[in-house]
Amino acid sequence: MSGTDQDRSTLVYERWDARMKTALRSTISQDLIDEHRRTPRGPHSDSLARLLNYFRRAPLTRKFVVLCTVAHAEWKIAELSGVRGDPPRIIDDRRFSSEAEAMHAVFLARIANLKG
């Protein structure tokens, strides 16, 4: 791919991403957040599934993830560097007693990022 094609491709992606963010922001509601809290693994409504799919395809740089720190007992939120071989960085001191709680905390962090 030539530099011009790559530049054009990047521009198209950025425009698409901006439109997606605008559309997804309008779907976020307390009901959607409550749905995720109840069933973080699914099944999900169409609106929640679309939002989660957007979050999953996000770049790996500065992406929030769930990190198990004590097997089957403790989870924390970490951030990926986007650099192969660099470990995730734990972002705060919060500890979660279930993976579902940590997944919901990551979901809320991603929503906060989406809202800007």
pLDDT in tens, 11-69: 998 999 999 999 999 999 999 999 999 999 999 999 999 999 999 887 767 889 999 99
**What is the domain count for the chain?**
1
Predicted local confidence at residue 2, as pLDDT: 63
Domain ranges, residue 26: 3-115
Distances from the Cα of 78 to the Cαs of 84, 94, 109, in angstroms?
15, 11, 11
Rounded to an integer, the average pLDDT of 74-83 is: 93
User: Rounded to two decimals, what is the model's pTM?
Assistant: 0.86
Q: Tokens for 25?
A: 């922001």
Task: Please report which helix (H) or strand (E) contains residue 26, including its range.
Answer: none
DSSP letter string, 46-88: HHHHHHHHHHHTS-STT-EEEEEEETTTEEEEEE--SSTTPPP
